[in-house]
């Protein structure tokens, strides 16, 4: 990365394996990596992953579903923002660099939008990333068209979570990405069935996630853990949001209660909660197919559709023939979304 002198500078690196391009951008709140996929002339979809993850480990399960790729890439240019120092091949962040606050990271998202010349965008965040994008939506309401949140955080940490994060933080600081830290993170992401136990081996997605965690710079992850452990309650700001919101949460997620709380504080005419059965927090990787139908209905509120394909399977969950007309109104979203293996709940 070149010396920016305070201005925004980008160095492009081709991502041949996924057909995207990575931009390293110097914002007003530090450097950030953004991987861009798709046609820049299309509406923008901004993603932000959970702690210790990036777009490779947080969203590829969803984007490897042909129907999801068809829906998303047909309608959007995707801008994957990585938390500082979480991108592939990241170098350790200097110890002299101040640890950003959650407000700094939300403002950093605004700087990324300014760099690419983007106006209003769709936002898609997972857990810690969902918190950052929700905060961004609260601070820059006119720049957010809609929110898709997976197992989101919206309150300050409970004492239990704060203590748990402190233990993880200390382990990262003194021992790096050791086996115990990885186990703590895997419990955060996945259900017990996927993680495996004595009679059942761990799944391929858990093994792949472990491999990707080994590539993280432990001190960079430590910094993000520190940032999120100092987050504040967004409950009052939720009442000011002016965009539609679609929330997914696994029924076995550690953050299930928080997702229900968040739904109860949003305008129910424009918010839907989809609870995914037998799933942990990282729905995008553990059960990505459960997200397809709700996302299509959600996007229909913006006039967006999956492209017609002559060779598509009639069993495709995105087939227009399985869409009920009453589901097209935003007022119906909160009580009508019932994809396979999910159930919808809006009551507290």
Reported as a single tens digit per residue, the pLDDT across 309-345 is 544 443 334 433 333 334 334 444 433 343 434 444 4
Helices 159-175 and 218-229: crossing angle, nearest 10°? Answer: 160
- Environment class of 336 (CB within 10 Å of its CB; exposed 0-12, middle 13-18, buried 19+): middle
Tokens representing 201 are: 């081996």
Q: Can you tell me the distance from the alpha carbon of 132 to that of 105, in angstroms, rounded to the nearest whole number?
A: 7
Rounded to two decimals, the pTM is 0.85
pLDDT reading at 10 higher than 60: no
pLDDT of residue 249: 97
Q: Give me the residue label for tokens 């869409």.
A: 323
pLDDT of residue 326: 40
pLDDT digits (tens, 9 = 90+) for 35-54: 999 999 999 999 999 999 99
Per the CB < 8 A criterion, the answer to whether 129 and 135 are in contact is: no
Tokens representing 325 are: 């007309």
Of 14-18, 204-208, 209-213, where does mean pLDDT reach its minimum?
14-18
The three-class DSSP label of residue 230 is coil
pLDDT of residue 109: 98
The three-class DSSP label of residue 92 is coil
Task: State phi, psi for 118 to the nearest 5 degrees.
Answer: -95, 145
pLDDT of residue 328: 37
pLDDT of residue 19: 53
Average pLDDT over all residues of the chain: 85
pLDDT of residue 82: 97
pLDDT of residue 317: 42
pLDDT digits (tens, 9 = 90+) for 256-308: 999 999 999 998 888 999 999 999 999 999 999 999 999 999 999 999 988 76
Tokens representing 182 are: 């990885």
pLDDT reading at 95 higher than 70: yes
Bridge partners of 28, per DSSP, are: 30
- Environment class of 111 (CB within 10 Å of its CB; exposed 0-12, middle 13-18, buried 19+): middle
pLDDT of residue 323: 36
């Amino acid at each position: 990365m070149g010396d920016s002198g305070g201005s925004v500078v980008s160095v492009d690196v081709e991502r041949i394996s996924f057909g995207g391009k990575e931009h390293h951008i110097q914002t007003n709140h530090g450097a950030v990596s953004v991987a861009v996929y798709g046609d820049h002339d299309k509406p923008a979809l901004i993603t932000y992953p959970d702690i210790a993850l990036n777009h490779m480990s947080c969203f590829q399960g969803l984007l490897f579903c042909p129907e999801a790729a068809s829906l998303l890439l047909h309608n959007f240019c995707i801008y994957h923002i990585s938390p500082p120092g979480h991108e592939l091949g990241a170098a350790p962040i200097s110890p002299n660099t101040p640890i950003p606050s959650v407000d700094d990271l939300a403002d950093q998202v605004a700087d990324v939008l300014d760099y690419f010349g983007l106006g209003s965008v769709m936002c898609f965040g997972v857990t810690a990333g969902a918190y950052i994008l929700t905060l961004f939506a609260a601070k820059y309401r006119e720049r957010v068209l809609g929110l898709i949140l997976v197992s989101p955080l919206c309150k300050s940490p409970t004492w239990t979570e704060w203590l748990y994060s402190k233990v993880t933080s200390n382990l990262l600081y003194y021992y790096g990405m050791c086996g115990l830290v990885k186990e703590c993170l895997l419990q955060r992401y996945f259900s017990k069935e996927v993680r495996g136990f004595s009679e059942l081996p761990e799944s391929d997605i858990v093994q792949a996630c472990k491999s990707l965690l080994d590539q993280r710079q432990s001190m960079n992850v430590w910094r993000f853990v520190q940032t999120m452990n100092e987050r504040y309650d967004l409950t009052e700001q939720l009442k000011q949001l002016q965009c539609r919101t679609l929330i997914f949460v696994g029924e076995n997620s550690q953050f299930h209660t928080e997702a229900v709380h968040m739904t109860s504080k949003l305008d129910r005419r424009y918010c839907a909660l989809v609870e995914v059965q037998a799933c942990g927090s990282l729905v995008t990787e553990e059960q990505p197919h459960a997200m397809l139908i709700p996302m299509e209905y959600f996007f229909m509120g913006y006039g967006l559709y999956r492209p017609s394909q002559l060779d598509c399977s009639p069993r495709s969950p995105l087939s227009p023939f399985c869409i009920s007309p009453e589901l097209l109104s935003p007022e119906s979203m909160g009580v009508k979304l019932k994809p396979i293996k999910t159930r919808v709940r809006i009551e507290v």
